[in-house]
Structure 1
């Protein structure tokens, strides 16, 4: 009988990587950042939730074998101004690209960081995507 191969949650793994790595950073624009996987309910500039980084899995990429799965992860960063949103997004992208661990075996940049404005709140944000390779596990 062949072993059952499964792949862990890349979105949760990437959020965990950023949560830990950003907490250890000393850059002022990274201070107090919250990392999650959902759009924050209150994104007003005066809200204490800023800065906020959201990690979402956009797509699963076709698997060539059971030895590897790939997906696109999108990270969106809301901040109090465009420069800080960009800087935090760029730092987050770098932290993911240099990570290799139990779930994410490798990450490479795809797009961005790209500046934008949140339609709902008018807040500045920056977003980027990375391509992540996910380690298989047996269940």
Structure 2
């Protein structure tokens, strides 16, 4: 009988990785950062929620075997200014690339970081993608 193989949630795992890795950082641009998987509901300039790191899964890439899955993860960083948004995005990208763990076994850079401005809040942001290899689990 074949074993049932499933792939854990790469989006949640990446958010957990960044929460833990950023918690102990000494860089000023990483102080008091919040990591989440949902766009903040209130992004008005009157209620700033920066720095904020959003982790979202863009897509699952087909895999030829059940030994690995690939997911494209998009990380978006809101910050007080463009330089800090870029610096925090660069740090997050590096932290993901060096990670290897029980869910995400490896990460390669995708695109970015790319600078932009959030139309809803006017806050500077920086966004990038990574390609994550996801370890299977048996259910």
Does the alignment reach a TM-score above 0.5? yes
**Within-5 A mapping of 1:1-139:** 1-47=1-47, 49-139=49-139
CA distance in 2 between partners of 1:129 and 1:45 (Å): 26
Q: Which runs of 5+ in 1 are unaligned?
A: none
Aligned pair count reads 139
CA distance in 1 between partners of 2:110 and 2:49 (Å): 27
Moved over 6 A (4+): none
Query: What whole-Å deviation, never above 9, does each CA across 1:55-98 have from its counterpart, x for those lacking one?
Result: 00000001110000001000000000000000000000000000
Secondary structure at the residue paired with 1:64? coil
TM, length-normalised to structure 1 = 0.97
Secondary structure at the residue paired with 2:50? coil
Q: Which runs of 5+ in 2 are unaligned?
A: none
- Of residues 61-70 and 44-53 in structure 1, the stretch that sits farther from structure 2 once superposed is 44-53
RMSD: 0.9
Q: 1:103 to 1:67 in 2, by over 3 A?
A: same
More strand by share: 1
CA distance in 1 between partners of 2:83 and 2:111 (Å): 18
Equivalent pair of 2:44/2:120 in contact (CA under 8 Å)? no
